[in-house]
Structure 1
Amino acid sequence: MGKPTGFLEYNREVAKVLPPKVRIANFKEFRTPLNKEKQKLQGARCMACGVPFCQAGMMIGGMASGCPLHNLVPETNDLVFTGNWKQAFLRLNKTHSFPEFTSRVCPALCEAACTCNLNGDPVSTKENERAIIETAYAEGWVKPQPPAVRTGKTIAVVGSGPSGLAAAQQLNRRGHSVTVFERSDRIGGLLRYGIPNMKLEKSVIDRRLKLMEEEGVKFVTNTNVGVDITAEELLKKFDRVILCCGASNPRDIKVPGRDAKGIYFAVDFLKKVTKTLLDSDFTKAPYEDAKGKHVLVIGGGDTGNDCVGTSVRLGAKSVTQLEMMPMPPVERAASNPWPEWPKVLKTDYGQEEAIAVFGHDPRVYQTTVTEFIKDKNGNVCQAKIVKLKGEKDPKSGRMMMVPVEGTEEVIPADLVLIAAGFLGSQKYVTDAFKVATTPRTNVETKLEAYETSVPRVFTAGDMHRGQSLVVWAIREGREAAKAVDESLMGYSYL
């Protein structure tokens, strides 16, 4: 610990962001990192606690506390403070496959569990992580790591999201021959098409993919496993198969008028926008999808926020975001103590932009849709909404959100984006491999294991654990890789 009193001497400081009305002019990242000297002072704020919850990655109160990858946070923070950037990179590289992704899109579970967060502001560990990996790229320290010897074993990874890429990277470096299959036209899965470019520029993904290709990983796009190629073919050709297809079965809103034109699942909308940008080399965006329209976003999570920010950039006339649950408190409740994940109000970039453009927060809490109204051409033009209240179910004892009589209202809605979460894996894939699933349709395995009910078939990521974070997907991919390696070799040093 290089600066024992650093957390007392220096205030928390993070990257500068462009003003909302400036950054919505394009789809580029809008954060300007601190310079090296200022970043060092942020590393000095780390207390090197005796019990570093920041790297614990354990479940407390049903929520994750600390980094699921068990990054050696106090050590990397200290190396940032002392300016030992290469050592910081080598230390981070021990536990992390893709710091350049999480340092942009992770909600920073490490910071929520930081001891400084108990009575002050947490250490800016996420910013430190980004500074480490970007310095490493700039200095040429991130190099291909092809294996010296090949084992002769072959592995198919189905899905190229963060879990699939993490599994492929680890197994390839072990010496196995890995082929990644992706049904879309580009590699990246959720990273590519589920996260907007202003949060994660796609050149950042391409930079890593180039390294993986140089290491020997093979990528096959436009191939839908279970449709274009059968499960039997994969199992005949490869020694092991890892299913990393995500929880890509979106939750629908089943109310009258759902068949109206102009209603889309959020992931389809976000994919179209990103694909249009990429196909045109960022010279064109699908402004016609939202320009001058009243946009209704159903869902209050990260994907809903991404829809808000994207709609603002596309020139929406108004944006309304519905959230079924009550507005969270501004500060931690007594029932939500540190180091639990703080269940507090968070205003994200998209909401900040909507506030700047429209003059008010787009979020409407404790509200849901009861009907979509069409115009004469079958296009959605309005939505009926109703307020909700919490009531305890007399049979199960669970709290449920129920409509409040007399609170119905009709609002304009020319474009509706459903961001209500996901129900689990897609059935055609699990049926193709005949793997057992849980009641939530996640692929079933033994506790803390990754092999499915079908021999030689493994799973990882959202398909295994349900809709979750990129950092959890990376951990799952790394853990699944270790399980596959053990099954092939009888041991593993991954």
Structure 2
Amino acid sequence: MGKVTGFLEFDRQKESYLPVTQRVKNNKEFVLVLENSKAKTQAARCMNCGTPFCMTGCPVNNIIPDWNDLVYTQDYRNALDTLHSTNNFPEFTGRVCPAPCEAACTLNVNNEPVGIKSIELFIVEKGFENGWILPQPSAVRTGKKVAIVGSGPAGLAAAQQLCRAGHAVTVFEKNDRIGGLLRYGIPGFKLDKEIVDRRVEQLKSEGVHFRTGVFVGKEALKEITNWAKETLSPEKLLEDFDAVLLTGGSEQGRDLPVPGRDLQGIHFAMEFLPQQNKVDAGDEVRNQLRADGKHVVVIGGGDTGSDCVGTSRRHGAEGIVQFELLPQPPEQENKPMVWPYWPIKLRTSSSHEEGCERDWSVATKRFEGSNGKVEKLIAARLEWKDGKMSEVPDSEFTLKADLVLLAMGFVAPAAQVLSAFGVEKDARGNAKATTDGEGCYRTSVDKVFAAGDMRRGQSLVVWAIREGRQAARAVDEFLMGASDLPR
């Protein structure tokens, strides 16, 4: 490594944030990319550890020690090439990935890990700043046509790989803009949509064809299609293309069937968040779900719930409460026990820091209100023992609630799409397909492949990119008999 003793000399440096009072006034990004000197110092902390567990902790197997060393020596161009060799979109993961690579960092055993995610973002933004990230169209065309259903990270990664392999790629998106959950699931303050557009333009220049407002399936159900204007049958797709890859995201939220659920003011997170993204894009959204002056209750303690908290704060909510069914995790994990695996520990997001009351081991009993509108939530405390929960006697309490947002995770992705194709599903309702061996990522239907949330269920952007890349190789092998695409 460039600085053999760097991990002994330097402390972990985090990216800076704009002040809370400033950033909650809009939905723009507020994380400041590392400066050159800070990136070099952070990269110097990367140890010559022999076995880089960070690479196995990373779903796309980023070659982290190599580009850390290149950043230390300020060879940014080669650092970018190394980063892009395993990850099509490091500007996405550098912003929204929870960084399992950092949890697996050898330095994390008894210290603070290297700021891998911060360095990743630094490298790719340096690439855009210097004009190094350009279209890479294929010099030859195979004559084969591939349809990709879904334009989230899995679909975009697969599209880029297959187009660069020489295939004619068309991406179908049911919404009015490209990006899938990158566009309409993640708030703009975490991922500005100009960042998505920037990469989509590269894909277009490479030859990827995009069709928006097209729902692929038998029936264009309103709750599934959102803004689709056209329905395309699976039969037509299979007739017109040599292979079809399904890469839709998990959007169907887990419901909460308790008394009062039908009251107005109770919504899924994916009803609430996309509307704000459309407003940010300049669209007019009639009767937009707003948190202005309201007492907001967010049910679910994960990232989606955190996004609801941050969006509600920017709306000007009177008060925000977020609670979770599970018990509060420890503030610090037992590193010798769990390293290098992803630890369960208390995680406080930037949205939480902006103002939110959090609670754990809480179950919703019912909703109450008047004139058809929710006004309060009745909850109870839970006791957990041996992995089982029981209600604490006489522990019921009331929360004022003008707006309730359900963010308890997602169930089977786009079940209507899978059913329309007649794809065999696994026990969780996802497309049944393996990731190894002959026929990987292939479904039970000839010519139809599945990757990302469509195959594995709700997951991370980085996992979607990995599966999109691997599925692209599988499709290329299916069409050509062999493939030079990386796995």
- Does TM, scored on the shorter chain, surpass 0.5? yes
Q: Match for 1:289: what amino acid?
A: R
CA RMSD in angstroms comes to 1.5
Give the drift of 1:289. 1.2
Return the letter of the residue paired with 2:129: A
Q: Which whole-Å CA distance do the structure 2 matches of 1:31 and 1:187 have between them? A: 24
Please tell me the residue identity of whatever aligns with 2:15. Answer: A
Q: Deviations over 1:120-172 (max 9, x none)?
A: 11111111111110111111110000100110000000000100101101000
Offset, 1:336: 4.1
Secondary structure of 1:279's match? coil
8 Å Cα contact 2:109/2:335 also seen in 1 = no
Question: 2:257 aligned with 1:269, yes or no?
Answer: no
> Gaps spanning 5+ residues in structure 1: where?
57-65, 355-360, 393-398
Counterpart check, 1:424 vs 2:415: no
- Tell me which moved more, 112-121 or 446-455: 446-455
Q: Using the alignment, how far apart are the partners of 2:288 and 2:44 within structure 1?
A: 45
In structure 2, do the counterparts of structure 1 residues 149 and 442 end up closer, same or farther at CA, with 3 Å as the change threshold? same
Going from structure 1 to structure 2, the CA distance change for 1:143 and 1:78 (only over 3 Å counts) comes to same
1:367 corresponds in structure 2 to 362
Aligned to 1:75: 66
Equivalent of residue 198 in structure 1, options 178, 189, 192: 189
SS at 1:3's partner residue? coil
* Cα shift readout 1:349-398 (whole Å, capped 9, x = no counterpart): 111001xxxxxx5211000211111212x111111111112245xxxxxx
Q: CA deviation at 1:115?
A: 0.8
Displaced runs of 4+ in structure 1, greater than 3 A?
A: 284-288, 333-336
SS of the residue corresponding to residue 289 of structure 1 reads coil
Paired residue type of 2:295? H
User: Which residue is equivalent to 1:146?
Assistant: 137
The aligned residue for residue 298 of structure 1 is 299
| Per-residue deviation, 1:287 | 8.1
Match in the other structure for 2:262: 259
Length-normalised TM-score, structure 2: 0.94
**Shift, 1:280, TM fit:** 4.5
Which residue of 2 is the match for residue 38 of structure 1?
38
Q: Is the 8 A contact 2:272 2:289 kept in 1?
A: no
Per-residue deviation, 1:333: 3.2
Residue of structure 2 in register with 1:21 after alignment: 21
Q: Deviations over 1:314-341 (max 9, x none)?
A: 0001101110111111111378421111
Report what 2:314 is aligned to: 313
Measured against aligned partners, the alpha-carbon deviations of 1:401-458 in whole angstroms (never above 9, x if no partner) come to: 2322211111110001000101112221111100000111011013532000001000
- 1:206 and 1:224 map into 2 onto residues whose CA distance is 21
What count of residue pairs does the alignment treat as equivalent?
470
In 2: Cα distance, 1:385 partner to 1:316 partner:
21
Partner SS for 1:156: strand
Whether the 8 Å CA contact 2:275–2:288 is kept in 1: the answer is no
User: Who is 1:405 aligned against?
Assistant: 393
Partners of 1:375 and 1:149 in 2: CA distance? 66
* Superposed displacement of residue 343, structure 1: 1.2
Say whether the 8 Å CA contact 2:109–2:336 is kept in structure 1: no
- Residue 490 (structure 1) aligns with: 481
Give CA deviations for 1:272-294 in whole Å, capped at 9, x if unaligned: 1111111259xx99887111100
**Residue equivalent to 2:222:** none
Q: Tell me the secondary structure at the aligned position of residue 215 of structure 2.
A: coil
Cα distance in 2 for residues equivalent to 1:307 and 1:492: 42
- Decide whether the 8 Å contact of 1:260 with 1:379 is kept in 2: yes
- The answer to whether the 8 A contact 1:277-1:285 is kept is no
1:382/1:412 contact within 8 Å kept = yes
Residue type of the alignment partner of 2:46 = C
Counterpart CA distance in 2 for 1:43 and 1:191 is: 28
Give the counterpart letter for 1:384 in structure 2.
I
Gap change, CA 1:76 and 1:254, over 3 Å in 2: same
Other-structure match for 1:185: 176
- Give the % identical residues: 51
Aligned-pair CA distance for 1:102: 0.2
1:245 aligns to what SS in structure 2? coil
Name the amino acid aligned to 2:5: T
Q: CA deviation at 1:197?
A: 0.3
d(CA) in 2 for partners of 1:121 and 1:84? 25
Matches of residues 101-116 of structure 1 in structure 2 within 5 Å? 101-116=92-107
Please give the alpha-carbon distance, in whole angstroms, between the structure 2 residues aligned to 1:170 and 1:224. Answer: 23
Q: How far apart are residue 21 of structure 1 and its match?
A: 2.1
Aligned residue type for 1:266: A
More divergent stretch after superposition (163-172 vs 288-297): 288-297
Counterpart in the other structure of 1:248: 251
2:226 is matched with: none
C-alpha distance in 2, partners of 1:287/1:9? 52
Provide the C-alpha distance between the structure 2 equivalents of 1:323 and 1:96, rounded to a whole number of angstroms: 33
Alignment of 1:276-295 (within 5 A): 276-280=279-283, 289-295=290-296
SS at match of 1:350: helix
1:469 to 460, 464, 476: 460
Q: Which residue identity does 2:262 align to in structure 1? A: D
CA distance in 2, matches of 1:35, 1:381: 48
Q: Distance in 2 between matches of 1:280 and 1:149?
A: 40
Aligned twin of 2:324: 323
Number of the residue aligned with 2:354: 353
1:482 maps to amino acid: R
Which of 432, 453, 456 is the aligned partner of 1:444?
A: 432
Unaligned stretches of 5+ in structure 2? 220-230
Which one of 229, 232, 241 corresponds to residue 232 of structure 2? 229
